[in-house]
Amino acid sequence: MPEGDTVWNTARVLEKALTGETLTGSDFRVPRLATTDLTGWTVAESASRGKHLLLRLTREGRPPHTLHSHLRMDGAWRSYAPGERWTGRPAHLIRVVLRTARSVAVGYHLHEITLVPTAEEETLVGHLGPDLLGADWDPAEAVRRISAAPSATIAEALLDQRNLAGVGNLYKAETLFLRGLWPWTPVAGVTDLTGTVTMAQKLVASNRGRWTQTTTGSLRKGETSYVYGRRAQPCRRCGTAIRKAEQDERVTYWCPRCQPEP
Ligand SMILES: [Zn+2]
């Protein structure tokens, strides 16, 4: 499931494959960009902001442009050597192909694919709260934004990318477990919001640079989470059966004993 760390890792894949290279071809398989040709543009930078990917491109005599994409639930970018078979996903899911002399980057099932002048990047990502993995991560600002809606549940507040950018369903559930918070606790009822956002940031940041996500410290299959994906299994701390329920059209997992209803 793409969360902030997955998107950050994906930006590194694109950085390694494309940065500093001039595109020798491009293929957009989305109607709106079907006639776009990025041949001759140079990839200057691959960045992530929350769950958004930003590929910054330059070309002499033209204003810099940014190719934006979003992975949502199931998108992915893969890089291949020229001539190598593309084994990532079925071909009908390909949305973008970017070619250089030494690599090919293929974007599968991407969403919100947009090409804008870099000067207008903020129209795409300006609404986001502080990026958990950004150099400018600002817990006080995240807390200020969350506090503006005191009746929202803390689970909802952590997932809202306008409050802080990069938490998905896995890190939401795990953060709430580690802070002993019942997922439906209203923001106004959380005594230490700073501790809560700091925990979320630590979990996401600790998983940068690898594709297996863990919040327990173990990378062994079946041991990587406290509550997420563990319905009816015993809590690792108290042995109580983990519960699962729908919450705001997502699912949430919690331990009824470690995260009691206030
Ligand atoms: Zn428990």
Final residue of a domain: which of 69, 94, 126? 126
In eight-state DSSP terms, residue 242 is: P
**Catalytic site residue from 51, 56, 172, 179:** 51
Q: Clarify whether residues 102 and 75 are in a common domain.
A: yes
260 found inside a domain: no
Total structural domains in the chain?
2
Q: From CA 215, how far away is CA 89, in angstroms rounded?
A: 28
What pTM does this model have? Answer: 0.92
Q: What is the mean pLDDT of residues 5-28?
A: 96
Give the amino acid at 33: L
Q: What is the mean pLDDT of residues 41-52?
A: 96
Active site residue 250: yes
Q: Clarify whether residues 166 and 56 are in a common domain.
A: no
158 found inside a domain: yes
Q: Clarify whether residues 100 and 159 are in a common domain.
A: no
Q: From CA 176, how far away is CA 2, in angstroms rounded?
A: 19
Q: Clarify whether residues 10 and 96 are in a common domain.
A: yes
Q: What is the mean pLDDT of residues 241-250?
A: 94
pLDDT digits (tens, 9 = 90+) for 52-96: 999 999 999 999 999 999 998 889 999 999 999 998 899 999 999
In this predicted structure, what is the pLDDT of residue 2? Answer: 77
Residues 6+ apart with CB under 8 A from 238: 255, 257, 258
> How much distance in Å is there from the Cα of 96 to the middle of ligand 1?
45
Active site residue 90: no
With beta carbons less than 8 A apart as the criterion, state whether 142 and 127 touch: no
Final residue of a domain: which of 126, 161, 195? 126
Please check the confidence at residue 105 and state whether its pLDDT lies above 90. yes
> How much distance in Å is there from the Cα of 235 to the middle of ligand 1?
5
> How much distance in Å is there from the Cα of 261 to the middle of ligand 1?
13
> How much distance in Å is there from the Cα of 234 to the middle of ligand 1?
8
144 found inside a domain: yes
> How much distance in Å is there from the Cα of 129 to the middle of ligand 1?
31
CATH assignment of the domain containing 112: 3.20.190.10
Looking up tokens 């398989």 gives 29
**Catalytic site residue from 16, 32, 210, 250:** 250
Question: By CB neighbour count within 10 A (0-12 exposed, 13-18 middle, 19+ buried), where does 40 fall?
Answer: middle
**Please, which pLDDT band fits residue 1 given cuts at 50, 70 and 90?**
low
Q: What is the mean pLDDT of residues 131-159?
A: 97
192: containing domain: 139-254
Q: What is the mean pLDDT of residues 214-234?
A: 96
Active site residue 78: no
133 found inside a domain: no
> How much distance in Å is there from the Cα of 216 to the middle of ligand 1?
14
